[in-house]
Amino acid sequence: MSAKLDRLCQNLRDVLGERVVDITVDRSEVTLVVSAADYLTAATTLRDHADLCFEQLMDLCGVDYAAFGEVAFSETARATPRFAAVSQLLSLTHNWRLRLRVFAPDDSFPVVASVADVWNGANWFEREAFDLYGIMFDGHNDLRRILTDYGFVGHPFRKDFPIFGHVEMRYDPAQQRVVYQPVTIEPREVTPRILREENYGKADGRG
Amino acid sequence: MAEIKNYTLNFGPQHPAAHGVLRLVLELDGEVVVRADPHIGLLHRGTEKLMETRSWIQSLPFMDRLDYTSMIINEHPYCLAIERLLGIEVPLRAQYIRVLFDELTRIHHHLFNLGAHALDVGAMAMVLYTFREREDICDILEAVTGARMHQAYYRPGGVYRDLPDRMPKYEVNKFKNAQTVKELNAARDGSVLDFIEDFANRFPGYCDEYETLLTDNRIWKQRLIGVGVVSPERALQLGLTGPMLRGSGVEWDLRKKQPYEVYDRLDFDIPVGVNGDCYDRYLVRMEEMRQSNRIVKQCIDWLRKNPGPVISDNHKVAPPAREKMKGSMEELIHHFKLVSEGMHVPPGEVYAGIEHAKGEFGVYVISDGANKPYRVKLRSPAFQNVSALDEMARGHMLADVVTIIGTLDIVFGEVDR
């Protein structure tokens, strides 16, 4: 690990103190996890503190961990929360990056604070995460759907939403208008999703 | 006194100046924009979701379809992300080829943008000239990759193949006689590198031509100067990157600040604007084309002198040469596994950002060790640019909205993904 990343981790621990739930460094990238309760104050500190100075929010996205490490989505209970909002921060002053992850505590109604007031650029990213994953951003002033169609039902990027969707659209000559109906295409998967054991194919493993 | 009410105007989605399928709900007070509400998503194809259902390599051609005015450069961050997750090295020649094509696409993209922007603002002729040069770049891309638009040329571990030795030539037909064909083929006698070099030598002259048409043009200046001003602080707050940020005077370019591939070995400058208006951004883009041209020349020099492999020899990632596959059992197994099941990428997450023609194009990938990505997030610069439209258009006249859309450099393939 380079000295610069060391310094960033140290600064994060010094400045944020108890608000740090976890810091990991993997492949020269630092990931900081904070709790949903501390999210907004941590974000403000990350932006304003002279030792951190993350002036820019590059990206914010929702993640659904429901099928992580599994072949397909299943209803089994998980130990960790299902939804997370992950943002990529950039500091131009120090020229370093940080990934900030916050898990939404409640799986059935995921809510995290909005950081659109801290970084105005987060506005549309949060609308997108709401649209695609159904994560509510508390304090967002304009949480409308953004990418899906007007009147769309459901959150399409959730792992339990089928890739073909639920409805399809066609022109009905009898009613002389466009109608929605349940999908008629058969679901198919050309290449199945395959997960191997950790030491698969190695000299000491099997296979 | 009569009651005066604001009225709303629907701009697009079928409007020639909307650069695709932008629907803009404008609230107007007379001719002054009070509020602009962009409705996007009319081109939403769910690329990120589709990528979760395809193997790593099958998703690569999706990247070209994002920003279809700078196709090949989109593949770059995706390949970088996979390479970082796998921890593999890319041969130096492949890195130079990637940089060469990144810069050619940057020129291609800026030409496209410049032509379309000028066309929107009323300078009809510009688009004819810029598309003339764009055609040369398309020819180069076609000669190297086989496709003019959607190349799918970069691969995790390198590029698909080395630059060919020949440039395709025009043939005599009923529209082109022998004399015309001879003139058209003048630069095409040598290799592709010779043709690119010829283009790079001609290109500064073309830039001068564009500048004589626009830079001091009174109408162009009246339409652009002072329109859509973004202060450096606001640009950072709004998450703007690339020429949008540099036009406001912030000197930030990932090629210099966080160099990837071989950018730290190349010599080029970063142009920045002063006022942060549309005119400064035009000047920045203009100068960026010249700087890209400088990089292209340096890459050509290096590529001429240094032959070598262009893709990794790790056959868990890159397929073996076809010739070897036909003769060796091990290579055949590698090939079969790669095309049927695809590579497995170790668990982890990576965010790879590059300096795209529009700004920072980032790919955030989460892998859980399967043969498909668990989650891919494409951070497209134009998405962020459109979100700034409201703030930039407020208080301007209706006609200035068109100028602002032009300077925002919107391509809906990547805004809607």
The per-residue pLDDT for range B308-318, each reduced to its tens digit, is 889 988 888 88
* Contact assignment for A191 to B55 by CB distance below 8 Å: yes
SS3 call for B208:
helix
Would you tell me the crossing angle of helices B278-305 and B92-121 to the nearest 10 degrees?
150
Q: Cα distance from A191 to chain B (closest Cα, Å)?
A: 7
Residue type, B325: M
Q: Name the band, by pLDDT with cuts 50, 70 and 90, for residue B77.
A: very high
- Percent of chain B beyond pLDDT 70? 99
SS3 sequence, chain A? Answer: CCHHHHHHHHHHHHHHHHHEEEEEEECCEEEEEECCCCHHHHHHHHHHCCCCCCCEEEEEEEEECCCCCCCCCCCCCCCCCCEEEEEEEEECCCCEEEEEEEECCCCCCCEEECCCCCCCCHHHHHHHHHHHHCCEEECCCCCCCCCCCCCCCCCCCCCCCCCCCCEEEEEECCCCEEEEEECCCCCCCCCCCCCCCCCCCCCCCCC
Res B411 pLDDT > 60: yes
Res B21 pLDDT > 70: yes
The per-residue pLDDT for range B316-346, each reduced to its tens digit, is 888 888 888 888 898 899 889 888 888 888 8
Beta-ladder partners of A63: A84
SS3 call for B333:
helix
SS3 call for B172:
coil
Res B164 pLDDT > 80: yes
Which residues 1-20 of A are in CB contact (within 8 Å) with B? none
Q: Cα distance from B219 to chain A (closest Cα, Å)?
A: 33
Q: Please name the residue ranges forming H helices in B273-315.
A: 278-305
Spatial distance between the Cα atoms of A134 and A141, rounded to a whole number of angstroms: 16
* Contact assignment for A95 to B348 by CB distance below 8 Å: no
The DSSP code for B16 is G
Spatial distance between the Cα atoms of B315 and B333, rounded to a whole number of angstroms: 10
Spatial distance between the Cα atoms of A1 and A97, rounded to a whole number of angstroms: 14
Q: How many other CB atoms sit within 10 Å of the CB of residue A76?
A: 7
Q: Is B44 on the interface with A (CB under 8 A)?
A: yes
The DSSP code for B397 is B
Q: Which tokens in the block code for residue B101?
A: 């094509």
What residues of chain A score a pLDDT lower than 50? 205-207
Under a CB-based contact definition with an 8 Å cutoff, are residues B75 and B156 in contact?
no
Per CB-CB distance under 8 Å, the chain A contacts of B383 are 124
Which residues 282-341 of B are in CB contact (within 8 Å) with A? 340-341
pTM for the model stands at 0.90
Q: Name the band, by pLDDT with cuts 50, 70 and 90, for residue B97.
A: very high
Question: What count of CB pairs under 8 Å joins A to B?
Answer: 114
Predicted pLDDT of residue B316: 84
Dump the DSSP string for B222-245: HHHTTSS---HHHHHHTT--THHH
Q: Name the band, by pLDDT with cuts 50, 70 and 90, for residue B6.
A: confident
Omega of the bond leading into B13 within 30 degrees of 0 (cis): yes
The per-residue pLDDT for range B128-149, each reduced to its tens digit, is 999 988 989 999 999 998 888 8
Spatial distance between the Cα atoms of B166 and B183, rounded to a whole number of angstroms: 17
CA angle in degrees (0–180, nearest 5) for B80-B84-B85: 120
Q: How far is CA B395 from CA B18, B227, B380, B389, B401, in A?
A: 19, 10, 27, 12, 10
Residue bearing tokens 């090949």: B72
Predicted pLDDT of residue A207: 45
Nearest in space to B350 (alpha carbons), one of B87, B141, B121: B87
* Contact assignment for B239 to A61 by CB distance below 8 Å: no
Per CB-CB distance under 8 Å, the chain A contacts of B372 are 191, 193
Q: Name the band, by pLDDT with cuts 50, 70 and 90, for residue B166.
A: confident
Which residues 339-398 of B are in CB contact (within 8 Å) with A? 340-342, 344, 347-351, 353, 360, 362, 364, 366, 368-372, 374-375, 377, 379, 383-384, 386-387
